[in-house]
Structure 1
Amino acid sequence: MTNPTTGDNLARLRRAAKLTQEQLAERAALSVETVRKLEQNKPGSARLETLHAFARALSVPTTVLIGDASEAAARDEPDHRPLSLAEIRRAVAPVHGLTGAVLAAPVGDPPPVDTLRTRLRAADRAYQANDYATALTALPPLLLDVRAAVDLADGDDEPAAYALLARTLHLTGNLLIQLRAGDLAQTALTDALTAARRCGDQVVAATVIQGLCWLLMRQGRLAEAAQLGVSTADHVEPRFSRATPGELAAWGWLLMGAAAAHARDNRPDDAAELVDAAAAAAVRIGERDPGGEHLMMVGGFNAGRVQMARVEAAAVAGDPGRVLTLAEVVPPGPTPVGSSWQRHRLDVAWAYAARRQFVESETILTDLGRLAPAWLRHQRYARDIVQTIDEGRRRAMTDDLAALADLVGYRN
C-alpha cells in the first residue's frame, strides 16, 4: 500500500469539509486549477505557501496536508541553479580512503587560525552582500584548510579550532540553503553542530540550530523546525540580568525561527508569543553590538529584525493590510543580514500586489533585482509575486516587469 500524497490528503480533507474544488479555491484565494493540479499530483503544484493557504481555508495545521513526495523526487523537478556546486560538494562531503585520509586534502600545514578567521569574515561579507559566486569560490578551500587546522589542534587550541569549523560549516550550510541544495546543506549543518558541541560555545551551537530550523522549514518539516527551535531556546535561555548580547541574540534568533515555523503551520498565536519573547531580548540588548566573532546570524538581531518577523507572520497569514501597517515602523535597510531585509521587502511587495497596487509592488521587486539579483533569482516567492502582477494587470508587461520575469524564471 502506497503512502498518501499531498494531493490525496488535500482531497480527503476537502471532502470531509464538504467543499467542492471551486469552494476550496475561493476560500484559499487560489485558482481552482491549483486545486485540481494538486489533487491530481501534477508536478510543481505542492508549494509550501500554497499548502498554507489551503490549511487556513480548511482550519487545519499545514503539516497534515504534507504527504509522500517520492514521485516528485523521481521526476527531478528542476530548480534554476546557475552556479556549480562541485567544489563545495568536495569540501562539505570529502571522500575518505581506506586509511581514513581525505582525498585531495591540502598539502602542507594550514594557515594560522587568525588568517582563517579573516578569510571567513571575507566570505561572510560576500554572502551578506548577495555575492554568492564569490562566497562559493572562497568557501571550499577555506573549509579544507579549517579541517586541516582542526586535525593539527590539540589541548587549549582545540576549542577555537572547532568553533572556527562550526562557523565555516554554518556559513556554508546557509549558502547552500539559498542555492536550494538542501541535502548538501543538511550535511554541512549537521557537521557544524558536531563541531559546535566540541568547542563548547552555546552561542555558536545555537546559531547553527537556527540554520537547521531554516532548512527544516524549506523541507516542509514545520513541526520539527518549531520543536527544535523552542527546545533549544529553552535549553540556552539566558538570564537577562547578566546575559551577553551574543547570548540574547542567539536566543532571540531561535525564537524567531520557531515562530516562522509556527506561522507556516497555521499556528499564529504560538508564533506571536515567540516573537514577543524575542522582542524582549532585543530590548535588553539595546544599542549594544551582539556580533563580534559570531558573524552571520547573531550580528543581525535587533528590534528592527523582530519587527520584520511580525511583518512576515502577517504575510504568511494572508493579511496584506497588516503587513503594510507593521512595515511602516521597520527601520530602512539594507541590514547586516542582507537576506533578512530582502525577504522583508518581498513581504511588502506581496502585500502591495495582493491589494492590486502593482506599481508599488513592481518598484520594490525592481529595486531588489538591482540590489540582489543572485538572491532574487532563487526566490520562488518573487516568482509568485511577478505572476500576481502579470495576471492582475490589464496591459502588457512593462520592460522592467519583463526583465524581472526573466530573472526569477517566470513564464506566462
Structure 2
Amino acid sequence: MSQPTTGEHLARLRRQTGLTQEQLAEQSGISVEVIRKLEQGARKAARLETLHALARALRVPTTALLGNTAEAAARAEPDHRPLSLAEIRRAVAPVRGLTGAALTTPASNPPPSDVLRARLRATDRAYQANDYASALAELPSLVLDVRTAVDLATDEDEPAANVLLARTLHLTGNLLIQLRAGDLAQTAFADALQAARRSGDQVVAATVIQGMCWLLMRQGRIAEAAELAVSTADQVEPRFSRAAPAELAAWGWLLLGAAASYARNNEPDTAAELVDAAAAAAVRMGERDPGGEHLMMVGGFDAGRVQMQRVENAAVAGDAGRALGLSASVPPGPTPVGSSWQRHRLDVAWAYAAQRQYGEATGVLLELRELAPAWLRHQRYARDIVKLISERRRRAMSAELADLASLVGYPL
C-alpha cells in the first residue's frame, strides 16, 4: 500500500479540526491556493516552512504532514527538496550515534531473498521505464530490508546477500544521479562497492565502478572518471576465448564510460580507440544473454550501444554531420537501458538543431516527451537544445516548442 501524500495528510487533519481551507489559510498565513493545490494533488511538495506554519495552525507536529513526495522529485517541482529525498536519505546515509548503531530501526525479519530479488527486479523495471516516482517510493524500504538481510545472513549466504545489496545500492545511485542528488549518489555507490567487494563478484563490482564514473562526469571530474574507468577495465579485462557474456558486458561498459570521458576531455583519438575495443567485446558476446540476474548496465551492452557511443563522441566534438551519419546505423529503440537510448536521441536532436533542421530536432524532443517526460525534465542537455532552437529560428516559438521549454525549465 502506498504512503499517503502530504496533501492527503493535510486534508485529513484539516477536516478533523473542522476548518475550511479558507479558515486554515487565515490561521496559518498560507494562501488558499497553496492549500488547495496540495490537497488536490496539483502540488506534491511544499517547503518545510510552509508545512511548519500549517502544522502550527492545525496543532500537530510538522512531521504529521510529511508524506510521499516521490512524485514531486520525479516531476522536479520547485519545492521538492529536501523533503522529497528524506526517506531515501535515511536508508542510504542513516544517522548513527556514539555506538555506531543507526537510529533507523530495520525490520527484524526481512522478506526471503527471492522476494527481495523480485522487488529489486520490479524496481529496476520501473527505473528503466522512467517511472522515477515508483522507484523512489520503493527503494528506501528495499535498501533497509536488504541491509538487514546482510546483517542476518549466514556465512554461506553472505556473498549472495552482499551481491543483492550492491545491486540495490547501485540502482539507488543511478536514480539519484537522474534526480540531481549527486552527493547522496556518491554515498550509495561507495557502499555498493564495499558490498560488491565483500561478495567477491567482480562483474558486480565493475558495474558499480561504471556508475561511479557516470557520476564523476556529471560532477565535472572528467579526468578522474577516465582514469577510474580505464584502470578498472585493465583489472577486469576478460580472456575473449573463455569469457562469460556478463564479463564481456561489464568490461565493455567500462570502456564506453572511459570513451565518454576522453571525448569530453578533447582526446577524440583515445576515445575512438576505446570504442573500437568495446565493439570487439560486443562482437565476441554476440547474441548471448549476460543473464537475468544482471540488472541495469550489464544487460544493456551490445553493438547498438557501442554505435550510440560513436554518435555521442561525434556530438561532443561538435561534428553534427558525422553524428547524424553515424546515428543511421543505430538500431531502433528503445533499448533495455532506457536512459542510454534517450540520451542518444538527445544527441540526434542536437545534431539536427546544429544543422538548422529545427523541425526534425523538435520532433525528436517531442518523441522523448511522449516516451519519457520524467526523464526529460531532468536533462540539462535537453534545455540546452531547446535554447539552441529558440535562439536560432527566426519564426516565433511554436506551441509545441513552448511546451517543451516549460517541461525542461527553459525560461520563455
Mapping for residues 217-236 of structure 1, pairs under 5 Å: 217-236=217-236
Residue in structure 1 matched with residue 243 of structure 2 by the alignment? 243
Between 197-206 and 386-395, the greater mean CA deviation after superposition: 386-395
Give the match for residue 266 of structure 1: 266
- Corresponding position: 1:125 with 2:119: no
Is 1:397 aligned to 2:397, yes or no? yes
CA distance in 2 between counterparts of 1:168 and 1:81 reads: 27
Change (3 A) 1:381 1:236: same
2:322 matched residue in structure 1: 322
Q: Contact conserved, 2:108 with 2:148, CA < 8 A, in 1?
A: no
| Whole-angstrom CA distance in 2 between matches of 1:353 and 1:411 | 19
Residue 119 of structure 2 aligns to a residue whose secondary structure is helix
Conserved 8 A contact 2:279-2:306: yes
Which residue in the other structure is 2:146 paired with? 146
Residue in 2 aligned with 1:54?
Answer: none
* SS of equivalent to 2:186: helix
Structure 2 partner of 1:306: 306
Given the superposition, is the C-alpha separation of residues 147 and 136 from structure 1 closer, same or farther in structure 2, using an over 3 Å criterion? same
Partner secondary structure for residue 119 of structure 1: helix
Q: Give secondary structure in 1 for the equivalent of 2:157.
A: helix
- Return the structure number with greater relative CO, CA threshold 8 A, min gap 6: 1
Secondary structure, aligned partner of 1:281: helix
Q: Distance in 2 between matches of 1:196 and 1:371?
A: 33
Structure 1 window deviating more from structure 2 (388-397 vs 133-142): it is 388-397
CA–CA separation in structure 2 for the residues paired with 1:79 and 1:129: 20
- On the 8 A contact 1:177/1:185 being kept in 2, the answer is yes
Q: Report the counterpart of residue 108 of structure 1 in structure 2.
A: 108
Q: Which moved more, 1:101-110 or 1:386-395?
A: 101-110
Question: Does the residue aligned with 2:318 lie in a helix, a strand or coil?
Answer: coil
Which one-letter code corresponds to 1:237 in the other structure? E
Find out whether 1:297 has 2:284 as its counterpart: no
Would you say 1:92 and 2:92 are equivalent positions?
Answer: yes
Which residue in the other structure is 1:255 paired with? 255
The count of aligned residue pairs is: 335
Trace 1:4-19 onto structure 2 (pairs within 5 A).
none
The offset of 1:106, in angstroms, is 2.5
C-alpha change, 1:256 and 1:353, in structure 2 (3 Å) is same
4+ residue runs of structure 1 moved beyond 3 angstroms? 78-83
> What CA distance in whole angstroms lies between the structure 2 residues aligned with 1:331 and 1:281?
18
Following TM superposition, by how much is the alpha carbon of 1:196 offset from its aligned partner in structure 2, in angstroms?
0.4
Q: CA deviation at 1:79?
A: 9.8
CA deviation after TM superposition for structure 1 residue 82, in Å: 4.8
Q: Which amino acid aligns with 1:239?
A: R
Q: Could you tell me how far 1:312 is from its partner in structure 2?
A: 0.2
Q: Equivalent residue for 1:199?
A: 199
In structure 2, distance between residues paired with 1:263 and 1:320: 15
With the length of structure 2 as denominator, give the TM-score of the two structures. Answer: 0.80
The letter for the 1-side match of 2:352 is Y
State the distance in 1 between where 2:272 and 2:215 align. Answer: 21
Gaps of 5+ in 2: 1-75
Residue 176 of structure 1 and its aligned partner are, at CA, apart by 0.5
> Which residue pairs with 1:12 in the alignment?
none
Q: Bigger shift: 98-107 or 85-94? A: 98-107
Distance 1:151 1:350 in 2: 48
The answer on whether the counterparts of 2:107 and 2:148 sit within 8 Å (CA) in structure 1 is no
Does the 8 Å CA contact 1:279/1:303 hold for their aligned counterparts?
A: yes
CA gap of 1:89–1:334, structure 2 versus 1, over 3 A, is: same
Equivalent position amino acid for 2:284 in 1 = R
Q: Tell whether the 8 Å contact from 1:291 to 1:300 is kept in structure 2 after alignment.
A: no
Amino acid at match of 2:287: E
Distance in 1, Cα, partners of 2:230 & 2:93: 29
Q: Which residue of 1 aligns with 2:211?
A: 211
Q: Deviation per CA, 1:250-309, whole angstroms, max 9, x where unpaired?
A: 000000001000000000001000000000000001111124212000000000000000
Query: Counterpart of 1:289 in structure 2: which amino acid?
Result: D
| TM score, norm. by length of structure 1 | 0.80
CA drift at 1:394: 1.4
Check conservation: 2:121, 2:295, Cα contact below 8 A: yes
RMSD of the alignment, in Å? 1.3
Whether 1:407 aligns to 2:403 is no
Does residue 158 (structure 1) correspond to residue 158 (structure 2)? The answer is yes
Q: Distance in 1 between matches of 2:411 and 2:326?
A: 32
CA distance in 1, matches of 2:367, 2:86: 31
CA separation in 1, counterparts of 2:168 and 2:177? 14
Distance 2:293 2:79 in 1: 31
